[in-house]
Amino acid sequence: MDLNSIGNYLGAIKPGSVKDEGGAKKTGGLGMEDFLQLFSAQLKYQDMSSPMDNSEMMNQLTQVSSVTAMETMTEQMDSIVRMTTLTYASSMIGKEITISQDNVLDVPVKGIVTGAGVYNNEPCVYVNGTAYSLSKIMVVGNTND
């Protein structure tokens, strides 16, 4: 099976139409299952007078396997970063902090951190009942003004 045939098969898949096991749409690219479907179609429709080279087949399997492993590792690293950042935010509970604000007056807010969590998919601390992004923290601790 030549590359044009694979391209035709890929062209038949409508963007956004591929679903995962849970029924949710995949957000990006083709996965291992998609590759295996393509691979089996390639084997099924190959020209028997010029069968696929074994080393080419192994290269394709290795490449997909490597990409899948890298995607998994990236997801795990993202999870570790989120948990580490949330742990850092939790360590500020009970401490006084100064936070910059994005408003017209740009008056910093001072207060005691009463909680930590995730707001708008971003780790944050709570001061006076309001969530603030960790990137807005200017000072941790008492600054004798």
pLDDT, tens digit (0-9, with 9 covering 90-100), for 99-134 = 988 766 778 889 999 999 988 888 999 999 999 999
Strands, E, within the chain: which ranges?
96-99, 109-119, 122-127, 130-133, 137-140
Name the helix (H) or strand (E) containing 87.
helix 54-90
Residues of the chain with CATH 2.30.30.30: 88-140
Q: How many residues are listed for the chain in this entry?
A: 145
pLDDT at 7 over 90: no
What is the radius of gyration, based on Cα positions, of the chain?
26
For domain 88-140, give the CATH number: 2.30.30.30
